[in-house]
Amino acid sequence: MDAKIIRIRKGDDFHCHLRQGDILKKVLPFTTRHFSRAVAMPNTLPAIVTGDDAVRYREEIMAACDNGFRPIMSIMLTKNTTPQIIREAAAKGVTVLKYIPKGVSTNSDESVSLEDLPDFYPVLQAVQEYRMVFSGHWESLYDTDGDELPEIKREEAAIPFLKRLVRQFSGLKIVVEHASTYRMIEYVKQCPANVAATLTIHHAILSYDDVCNESGEVYSPHHYCKPIAKSYFDKRAVIAAMVSGNPKFFFGSDSAPHIASAKQKKQPAAGIFSKPVALSLLARMFQGCGTREGLENFYSKFGADHYGLPYNKDTISLVPEEWTVPQDYNGFVPLLAGMTLHWKVVD
C-alpha cells in the first residue's frame, strides 16, 4: 500500500446509531464526513416501528445534514409488527427490518424473543417478498436450561436460533450484526450467499479484559457495548474476517454515542462512540496487510453488493499523519480518547 496516501471510494456504514434531537445534530457529522450512506438504527426512544415513523426520522436526519448523505431507513421488529406494516414500510422506502431479541439491548422491551421468532415468519416472508434486509443482533440472554448467561457467551448461544431461520428462508437477505466470536464468523462463512455479517472496529481491537475485571464488573465503561468484547482468540477471528476479502463481511460501525454521564453510571449505557476513529483504525489494519483493495472492498463495496446498492462515486483520502484523539467531542467520549493514531482523514 502506498505509504503516502490512501484514496478509496467513500464507504457505507451498515449499522449506525444516529440518535435523535440535539444528540443527532452533534454526532451526525462524524458519519456524513466519512460515509455516503448509513443504516439508521431504529431502536431509538420511541422506536421507529412503521413506515410513517421512518419517513419522519429520515426528514429529521436530512434536515441536519447538507452534503448529499443518504440514510438507509429501517424499522424495528416488535410484537406488533405485521406483514401489512412491512408492505407499507417498503412502499415508503424502508430497506431494513431490524431485530433485537427482547431485552437483549437498548430499547428492545417491545421486541420478540428468540424462542418466539418463528411466530413472526409471515412477517419475514413479507420482508423477503419486498426484498428488504433482515438485520439482526444475535444474542441469547438464557441458556437451554433457562439460566441467565454471562454476556461473553450470549452470541454463541444465539447461533441455533439463527440456523433455524437460515434453513427456513433461502431468499431472505440476512445480516448478522457485529459478529464478535470465532464461532459466529465460522458459521456465517458456511452459510448460503444470502447471509452476511457486519464487523466493527471495536471488536477488532478490544478484548473482554479491556472492559471487565476478573469479577465481571465493568471497569472501563467507554469500552462497554453489546455484544461485549470477547477473547483475544475471537478478536483475531474478527480481524481475519475483515482482511480476508470474503464478500460476506463488511463494515458496520455500531457506533453508539452516549453522553459521558450515561457511560459513567454504575451500570453504564451500552455503546461505543467509534465513528471518529473507525476509518483511521481500518487504514492501519489494512495497511499492515498491504492491501488497498481490501480496505475499499470491506469499507465501500461488499456491503453495497449485499444490499443491492450502486457503489458511491465520491472518494475519501487518508494520509500518514499522527493525530491525538480528543478526550471529548461535545460531551461524548470517543473510542481511544487521548491516544495517538497514525492515519488521518483529510478533506
C-alpha to C-alpha distance for 319 and 307, rounded to whole angstroms = 30
Q: Choosing from 12, 13, 53, 254, which is the catalytic residue?
A: 254
Nearest to 161 by CA among 102, 90, 202, 241: 102
Rounded Cα–Cα distance for residues 183 and 166 (Å): 16
d(CA 334, CA 275): 8
Reply yes or no on whether 2 is catalytic.
Answer: no
The C-alpha cell of 22 is what?
Answer: 440535539
Phi-psi region of 107 (alpha: psi -120 to 50; beta: other; left: phi over 0): left
Give the burial class of 217: count Cβ atoms within 10 A of its Cβ; 0-12 exposed, 13-18 middle, 19 or more buried: exposed
Cell numbers placing 269: 449505557
DSSP track, 39-72: EE----SS---SHHHHHHHHHHHHHT--S--EEE
CA distance 309 to 25: 26
Q: b/e string for 81-93 if b means 16 or more Cβ within 10 A?
A: bebebbeebbeee
CA distance 1 to 67: 29
Which residue do the cell numbers 458459521 mark? 187
CB burial class (10 A; 0-12, 13-18, 19+) of residue 336? buried
What angle do the packed helices 21-32 and 275-289 form, to 10 degrees? 20
Residues annotated as catalytic are 254
